[in-house]
Structure 1
Amino acid sequence: MTSMNTYADNLSSVDALAPIFKAGGDPLRLEILRVLRRDTFGVLELSQLFDMRQSGMSHHLKVMNKAGLLEPQREGNAIFYRRPLHLDSDKPTDQTIRQIFEAVDRVPLPPHLQERIEAIRTQRADQSQAFFARHAEQFREQQELIAAFDLYAEPVAEMIRKRSRKHQWQAALEIGPGEGAFLPVLAELCGHVVALDNSRDMLAKATRTCIDERLNNIDLIEGVTDTLLARGDAFDLVVANMVLHHVPSPADIFLDAAALMNNGGCFVISDLCSHDQDWAKANCGDLWLGFEPEELTTWAADAGLVAGEQLFIGLRNGFQIQVREFWKHSGQI
């Protein structure tokens, strides 16, 4: 009887694999999985990427979702698609899905597809940049509709100060400094600080903060992380406070932070947990409605970073903030 039960269980497991291979047995669907490696796209964006009608793309996504190859992610009234966050290493179905991902990831994207992805990212970046250009004077007021600065800045500062007692950090980078309110913390702990922002209006306000606070060890640079990578800059500490939900491709921030950090470097993030407050897009310029903690952990692991301390802060308005640290070398935690 035991052997019969074992045979039935094995047969059931094999049967469960069939829909996965069937759903993945289409070249277009494998291409979709490739572009979802580090990005999240909506149906219209995917239709744009692959130059096909929305109805056809919706069919493919439905089949792949049912097979567990991808999952929907609601962003307000819009639905985006991503690779599944929770894959159990012990389940044959999840092992198979992971192996499919590993196989397609070994094949580089063709240039024309990469160009289309960059075009979508540029559209997103332009949308965010335009918002901050329009609302630079109301920046603090807009941001505090979600969370007051001190609610996340103080825990981040405390985490960094605690780590600085053990590490001799010389150079720090803040991505998206806004008005520059966090720069005094970094200027106190590190000999050289770079503040990087793609909004000229926000950099002007950060410059005023540096003047008022007499911060003489800060370079303010207009640009994106690629700007610093091209210069060959390197940092011991990288900070991004409430920035990820404004950038077109959050996963790329982890890759770029890892590339910009020295060995033993630390990447500290504060950002929103996933939420359903769609008004934040129009009122605060958000591109994404927060992130699952597992998303950040996965993106960090893909970038070769190791997760360290984490803190979750619940707010009265229903939002939750996650404060996370990621290290370039696990032995340095």
Structure 2
Amino acid sequence: MLELFKALADPCRLRLLAVLLKSELTVQELTQIMGMGQSRISRHLKILAEAGVLSVKRQGTWSYYRAGEQNTFFTAIRPEFERALEQLPERRNDLAAVAQALEARRKRSQEFFDQHAAQWDDLSRTLLPVPEYQDALLALVPEVAVLLEIGVGTGILLAELARKAKQVIGVDHSPAMLVEARRRLVQDDVPGAELRLGEMTHLPIANGGAGCVVANMVLHHAPDPQAVLTEIVRVLQLQGTLVLADLARHEREWAREQLADQWLGFEEDELKVWLEGAGLSEVTIERVTAPNGVEDVLLVKAVKR
């Protein structure tokens, strides 16, 4: 308790904690949000982390900070504490700055995919090869009335997914990617498929509108993966199924620039916590192992509670 109260007894640290209770952010992003130097921000973060209030996740040369649960007393008082933080005089401006930081992540991603849409399939296979997993992914997809694929890209899966549902909806935030996907739909003569422009955190479909959501190699491009999972749960019908494929944790730092990756893959335990926190149950995670030089893939299936 003493360590916690000492850590919280500073206006700057209260502001830091307030924004990190909402989003997972890097030191560089926090310096912009808070309008402070990096050394000052790092010192405050160190104090909060040592008190068990924050946790840090290192991905290559980047460190992401978020609210932690190591301090059991803080966990117990957190609901009331969060309500009190809304009264901070800087709260509105800080939240606006957080939104700008996440928007900057999203914009970098969209610009990258608009630029590389025509070469994307070859580019991704060449730079970051993965083991063959498509058949195993499709085996997890149930037959439903409406199936939604987010981050549809060039539409490489749509023909197969159309066999699983009466209606298939593909969503992507890149207009150029949707052009490539439409070309593939015509080429493959895929009936009952519809393409929509939209963000992973604001899917253009009604609450409970999909029996299954497929997210194939898109979560590591998301500025805020937990917000994406929450949005997926919104559009899933009760007992609806999420099928997700993504990279296991790796250390290829260059993927941030060359492939617009926001995250260097994920840990299995980390994904499970996020999935269950978003409102999903019956979570299964299968690791598709790869030979040297090829990254492992995580195949996930979960059901909306």
User: Normalized against structure 1, the TM-score is what?
Assistant: 0.82
How far apart are 1:56 and its partner, in Å? 1.6
Distance 1:117 1:198, change over 3 A: same
Aligned residue number for residue 73 of structure 2? 96
Name the CA distance, whole Å, in 1 between partners of 2:99 and 2:178.
25
Question: What residue identity is the alignment partner of 1:183?
Answer: L
Please identify which structure carries the higher helix content. Answer: 1
Aligned equivalent of 1:58: 42
Give, in whole Å, the separation in 2 of the partners of 1:180 and 1:230.
18
Indicate whether 1:21 and 2:5 are aligned: yes
Identify the residue that residue 295 of structure 1 maps to in structure 2.
Answer: 270
What is the alpha-carbon distance in structure 1 between the residues aligned to residue 303 and residue 104 of structure 2?
A: 31
Segments of structure 1 that go 5 or more residues without pairing to the other structure are 1-16, 88-92
Match among 233, 246, 250 for residue 271 of structure 1: 246
Report the CA distance between 1:323 and its aligned residue: 1.1
Q: Provide the rounded CA distance (Å) in 1 between the counterparts of 2:192 and 2:264.
A: 34
Structure 1 residue 102: Cα displacement: 3.8
Residues 46 and 57, structure 1, Cα contact 8 Å, conserved in 2: yes
Counterparts in 2 of 1:324 and 1:226: CA distance versus 1, 3 Å: closer
Residues 78-115 of structure 1: CA distance to partner in whole angstroms, max 9, x if unpaired? 2221234xx5xxxxx64224224444444575433322
Which residue of 95, 113, 132 corresponds with 2:94? 113
Match of 1:42 in 2: 26
Partner deviation per Cα, 1:138-182 (whole Å, 9 max, x = no partner): 21122112234x72322211112xxx2xxx621111010111111
The AA in structure 2 aligned to 1:242 is M
Instruction: Kindly state the Cα deviation for residue 318 of structure 1 after the two structures are TM-superposed.
Output: 5.3
Alpha-carbon distance between aligned partners in 1 of 2:83 and 2:147, rounded to the nearest angstrom: 33
Which stretch of structure 1 is more off in the superposition, 302-311 or 213-222?
302-311
Question: Is the Cα contact below 8 Å between 1:38 and 1:252 reproduced in 2?
Answer: no
Residue 231 of structure 2 aligns to which amino acid in structure 1? D
8 Å contact kept, 1:234–1:260: yes
CA distance in 2, matches of 1:112, 1:139: 38
- RMSD between aligned residues: 2.3
Question: C-alpha distance in 2, partners of 1:72/1:174?
Answer: 31
User: Which residue of 157, 166, 176 maps to 2:138?
Assistant: 157
1:26 CA displacement: 3.4
CA contact (8 A) 2:156 2:184 kept: yes
TM-superposed deviation, 1:229: 5.1
* Preserved contact between residue 129 and residue 294 of structure 2 (Cα < 8 Å): no
Shift of 1:312: 0.6
Correspondence for 2:260? 285
Matches within 5 A, 1:194-205: 194-205=169-180
The Cα offsets for residues 267-295 of structure 1, whole Å up to 9 and x where unpaired, read as 11111122211011122121111122232
Per the normalisation by structure 2, the TM-score is 0.89
Asked if the contact 1:142–1:283 (Cα under 8 Å) also holds between the matched residues in 2, the reply is no
Distance in 1 of aligned mates of 2:32 and 2:161: 42
Q: Does 2:302 match 1:326?
A: yes
Q: 1:290 to 1:39 in 2, by over 3 A?
A: farther
Q: What's 1:132 paired with?
A: 113
Preserved CA contact (<8 Å) 1:181 1:209: yes
Comparing 121-130 with 319-328, which one deviates more in the overlay?
319-328
- Corresponding residue SS for 1:19: helix
Query: Following the alignment from structure 1 to structure 2, what is the Cα–Cα distance between the partners of residues 294 and 155?
Result: 21
Letter in 2 for 1:82: R
C-alpha separation between the residues in 2 aligned to 1:53 and 1:72?
A: 19
Aligned partner (choices 214, 217, 223) of residue 242 of structure 1: 217
Q: C-alpha separation between the residues in 1 aligned to 2:74 and 2:250?
A: 27
Contact 1:229 1:259 in 2 (8 A): no
- Could you say if the C-alpha distance between residues 75 and 192 of structure 1 is closer, same or farther in structure 2, counting changes exceeding 3 Å? same
Q: 1:266, CA displacement in angstroms?
A: 1.2
- How many residues are aligned here? 299
Evaluate the alpha carbon distance shift between residue 204 and residue 233 of structure 1 in structure 2; reply closer, same or farther with a 3 A threshold. Answer: farther
- Paired AA for residue 106 in structure 2: A
Q: Which residue of 1 aligns with 2:61?
A: 77
Identity %: 30
Which has the greater radius of gyration? 1
CA drift of 1:307 comes to: 4.3
